[in-house]
Structure 1
């Protein structure tokens, strides 16, 4: 059946689903049909305004940063950045005054100048974006604010670094693309897993031809979070808001490195996808258990929850496949999969340590050490020892931050562009649609508008950079 006829024939309540899929707040089947079709067809009909893939903005010798959202994750980001030379934190913004004051103390501890403060208002971030002495706005707020702040920051002439997910709807994905192209400002999604040591090693090995042609990839976010998913009465978690839309709300950790390895948007593109979820066997039961102990949880106990395990599959224009999974509620060891299957070799990261094979057996530990020494990208070798000391998910967070600043300082293209952000994030609303439509397939928008055919693979060399220093942490 054609998608148009299929949507007309469906008979479930769209409501919140449609808002989640399109960002339009549709309340009828006809509106949903038009909104989804518009988002998907746009990539076929739209002419690209400017190609941000490979774009090198003018160099910024000292990168001035404004942080929006400096709770736990944002505070970690501020602390990490204190270890990078030629960076100045010029603004701090959070809804809570205490968060801003605490991060001012971090600047003081590193002998940095105080930053301008913004707090106490849901829209204080607008004033930060308008501040003149800012080159980069670093966004680590709850998800619903990611796209609005990123767009406003680019409109104000700032580059953007935004935590995952950069967008939650297809409409937001296109808004990011169009704004980045029009303003010629970078919009980098802070997908730290692309910089984890095994992932970036295997991406480089793929580019050197050791795996042959990669024909299949797998990524996931499987992380048992059920016990803390609902937060506490005095401090509810915003992540809970995402747990009643059935699909994959958080695909990018596993998907990003696979897309780099398979040259998505850079020689190949996602063609269409399908998604399927289990029922919920755990989350509603947990909510009811909590509600029996505290009335605060009673509304949560009355909600219907998305399935525990979601599996989405993508077929590319070149006939390759990608599988992405999401599960944060079952008792399961942490797993991002990172499986690459090529015509000459393959790899699998989990369970750790990661393993590589060029036949029907994984290579020996000694051979793994040789491969790591020979094929770890020069960019990673350049900063790895420092990154492991400073940390951030084992060091990958610092590598990501350092690399971004080094590229901005030297006027080099960033590793991740706005098309990566839009494509990887589009899996979420598309998975909602597919799950709700009995796992029917749906096209993935081409956010590059055809330029994927000429865009070059991500370049993991130093590219003439590497001159961004680090400072020692204070005692």
Structure 2
């Protein structure tokens, strides 16, 4: 039913003309101005999740896809055929995406590839005049962060970091509470990525293999844990917090310090799965099992970010927002609020009444259509924002400056840990414009 609802949503808004600019002229001259043309670079698990949501829209055509994995291409092509569309596949080598980007019938591309390709593909897309929607994190090094910003400034072609958690329903409700002053002046945040990924990092015959011959993210993601020590995946937590704290739009990240525990979780997992004699049991993993990063902002707030993916644990993003009037801890396993003068005594209140009262207008408007789109509905909103930004020819709600600032946490945390927790300064990717830019995230009635 959810799929039909989302299709009906597109048809209804088309007929009613929701918003004066809902169907702005298409970027590609001579094409149907009610159709956005989006290509896909990477159609593995995450890429096909985006593809599924995009194919449900009657206002989008998918003319081309790119991947070097034949199985991924086959699965994606079946989805496209079932949607009564036809796409050309680009599969010849790691740089096949460059040929796809030479097409003149693409308005934008969605990039869902291994991390090391994100920046170069986004930069290539912008240079070819295509909106770049890039999965997280958007960059691996400070140089890559600058590449995103400088390419956007040079080409004026937008780049959107596809951070779906920014659209999670409880996250957006808390954003409303922040904007309406429920917590008073904000002082402190906590967030992170606390997710047992051992089963993602390893598979194969023994359950302890990675790299060539394995499948899924084990082919590429696990190597980062072997060679790098830092917060390797910060944006699910820090993206929502950055929007609440007006980062790049009235505020900015100033510095961070990071520390890491010893690395034991992956060795222990391999031994339990395959025994002490398995070759991978002898590896020395660089990534500390728990990485803790503290960020300071220009307005004097602090943000604690935790990265924890190598140990047995339930999933959590560890959100906390705290101000002069109170605070909230909110996640799937704990949703609670304390507001001075409202909450009784010094006890916590259930967050549910607050989350319902401050449910964001976008969720009130589109929540039913978002059901079944993935990750509790937030995947609908992030895809919708990307498509609508292209239609309207406007900068997306999470732009190249956000992609750079949020992603910079990874290399800066690596540098801090390598230097015994020494503070690291954030570049000002906006070159001072953070002081005058306005935070308009989710203030538009459409995205």
TM-score of the superposed pair, with normalisation by structure 2: 0.85
- Does 2:161 match 1:189? yes
Question: Structure 1: how far apart are the matches of 2:401 and 2:132?
Answer: 14
- Does 2:372 match 1:397? no
**1:403-434 Cα distance to aligned partner (Å, 9 max, x none):** 22123223444210111110010000000100
Question: Structure 1: how far apart are the matches of 2:57 and 2:87?
Answer: 16
- Does 2:116 match 1:144? yes
Equivalent in 389, 401, 424 of residue 407 of structure 1: 389
RMSD (Å) for aligned C-alpha atoms:
2.2
| Aligned residue in 2 for 1:255 | 238
Aligned residue pairs, count: 403
Where does 1:53-92 land on structure 2 (aligned, <5 Å)? 60=26, 61-92=34-65
- Does 2:363 match 1:380? yes
Equivalent in 311, 324, 328 of residue 292 of structure 2: 311
| Aligned residue in 1 for 2:181 | 209
- Does 2:268 match 1:285? yes
- 1:266 touches 1:455 (CA, 8 Å); kept in 2? yes
| Aligned residue in 1 for 2:135 | 163
- 2:225 touches 2:286 (CA, 8 Å); kept in 1? yes
Where does 1:284-433 land on structure 2 (aligned, <5 Å)? 284-287=267-270, 292=275, 298=279, 301-352=282-333, 354-359=335-340, 360-364=346-350, 368-369=352-353, 371-388=354-371, 390-433=372-415
For residue 230 of structure 1, report the CA deviation from its aligned partner: 2.3
Where does 1:39-54 land on structure 2 (aligned, <5 Å)? none
- 2:183 touches 2:325 (CA, 8 Å); kept in 1? yes
| Aligned residue in 1 for 2:66 | 93
In structure 2, do the counterparts of structure 1 residues 254 and 88 end up closer, same or farther at CA, with 3 Å as the change threshold?
Answer: same
- 2:107 touches 2:390 (CA, 8 Å); kept in 1? no
For residue 457 of structure 1, report the CA deviation from its aligned partner: 1.3
SS at match of 1:243: helix
SS at match of 1:333: coil
Question: Structure 2: how far apart are the matches of 1:300 and 1:281?
Answer: 11
Further displaced range: 352-361 or 210-219: 352-361
In structure 2, do the counterparts of structure 1 residues 395 and 74 end up closer, same or farther at CA, with 3 Å as the change threshold?
Answer: same
- Does 2:444 match 1:462? yes
Question: Structure 2: how far apart are the matches of 1:170 and 1:204?
Answer: 32
In structure 2, do the counterparts of structure 1 residues 240 and 459 end up closer, same or farther at CA, with 3 Å as the change threshold?
Answer: closer
Question: Structure 2: how far apart are the matches of 1:417 and 1:342?
Answer: 27
TM-score of the superposed pair, with normalisation by structure 1: 0.80
- 2:275 touches 2:281 (CA, 8 Å); kept in 1? no
For residue 300 of structure 1, report the CA deviation from its aligned partner: 6.7
For residue 302 of structure 1, report the CA deviation from its aligned partner: 2.7
- Does 2:171 match 1:199? yes
| Aligned residue in 1 for 2:95 | 123
- 1:378 touches 1:462 (CA, 8 Å); kept in 2? no
Equivalent in 181, 184, 192 of residue 220 of structure 1: 192
| Aligned residue in 2 for 1:40 | none
Equivalent in 79, 82, 90 of residue 106 of structure 1: 79
- Does 2:214 match 1:235? yes
Question: Structure 2: how far apart are the matches of 1:402 and 1:350?
Answer: 24
- 1:263 touches 1:457 (CA, 8 Å); kept in 2? yes
Question: Structure 1: how far apart are the matches of 2:357 and 2:389?
Answer: 24
**1:316-344 Cα distance to aligned partner (Å, 9 max, x none):** 11211011000111122211011100122
For residue 293 of structure 1, report the CA deviation from its aligned partner: 7.9
For residue 446 of structure 1, report the CA deviation from its aligned partner: 0.8
In structure 2, do the counterparts of structure 1 residues 304 and 374 end up closer, same or farther at CA, with 3 Å as the change threshold?
Answer: closer
SS at match of 1:66: strand
Q: Any unmatched runs of 5+ in structure 1?
A: 1-57, 467-475
For residue 248 of structure 1, report the CA deviation from its aligned partner: 0.6
- 2:398 touches 2:441 (CA, 8 Å); kept in 1? no
- 1:96 touches 1:119 (CA, 8 Å); kept in 2? yes
Question: Structure 1: how far apart are the matches of 2:238 and 2:158?
Answer: 21
In structure 2, do the counterparts of structure 1 residues 343 and 421 end up closer, same or farther at CA, with 3 Å as the change threshold?
Answer: same
- 2:131 touches 2:390 (CA, 8 Å); kept in 1? no
For residue 192 of structure 1, report the CA deviation from its aligned partner: 0.7
Question: Structure 1: how far apart are the matches of 2:203 and 2:169?
Answer: 32
| Aligned residue in 2 for 1:54 | none
Question: Structure 2: how far apart are the matches of 1:184 and 1:107?
Answer: 31
Question: Structure 1: how far apart are the matches of 2:444 and 2:430?
Answer: 25
- 1:339 touches 1:347 (CA, 8 Å); kept in 2? yes
For residue 462 of structure 1, report the CA deviation from its aligned partner: 3.2
Question: Structure 1: how far apart are the matches of 2:179 and 2:47?
Answer: 33
Question: Structure 2: how far apart are the matches of 1:222 and 1:353?
Answer: 14
